[in-house]
Amino acid sequence: MPKGLWIWPSDPKAQKRVLKMVAASPHLFAALGVLGKSNEGMSDSELDDAINDGSEWTTLWVVRQLTALGFLEFKVDFFGNPAKYQLTEAGRNALGTITGRPPPKPPAPTPQPAASAPAAPKPAVPKAA
C-alpha cells in the first residue's frame, strides 16, 4: 500500500508538494476528476467503476486519502438511496489548481418538497332540529 498523505499542511510550499503528490497518483487524480464532473456525487461502487482500478482496496485507500485531506465529504441519504462522496470546496479548489482550469461549480442544492400545511378543519354545520 502506498504511503499516505493524511494531512493538509498550512505552509503554502507544503501544500504545493501535496498537490503534486495527488496529481502524480493516477488513482487520486482520477477520483478527483470524476467527482468534479459528477453533480450529485458518487457511491462507493460508482467511484470504483469510474477510477477503473479493479480493486476495492485501492478505492478505499483513495477515499481515505482524499477525505483526510479534506477534499471529499460523505453524504448519507436516510431514505434508502446509497450514500455518496462529493467534493468539498477544498477539493474543488485542489482540482482547479492541479488542472489549471477554474474549479468546478458546486452542485446545485436539490429542491426539497415543501411540507404542505395540514388543511384547516371545516367548521361544523349545526343540525337543524
Cα–Cα distance measured from residue 41 to residue 107, given in angstroms and rounded to the nearest whole number: 9
Provide the pLDDT confidence category of residue 83 given band limits of 50, 70 and 90. confident
**Domain residues of the chain, as ranges?**
12-99
Summarised one tens digit per residue, pLDDT across range 66-82 is 999 999 999 888 888 88
Summarised one tens digit per residue, pLDDT across range 4-41 is 667 888 889 999 999 999 999 999 999 999 999 888 88
Percent of the chain with pLDDT over 90: 37
Burial of 59 (0-12, 13-18, 19+ CB in 10 A): buried
Percent of the chain with pLDDT over 70: 78
What local confidence, expressed as pLDDT, does residue 1 receive?
41
CATH number for the 12-99 domain, one of 1.10.3720.10, 3.90.1150.60, 1.10.10.10, 2.40.40.20? 1.10.10.10
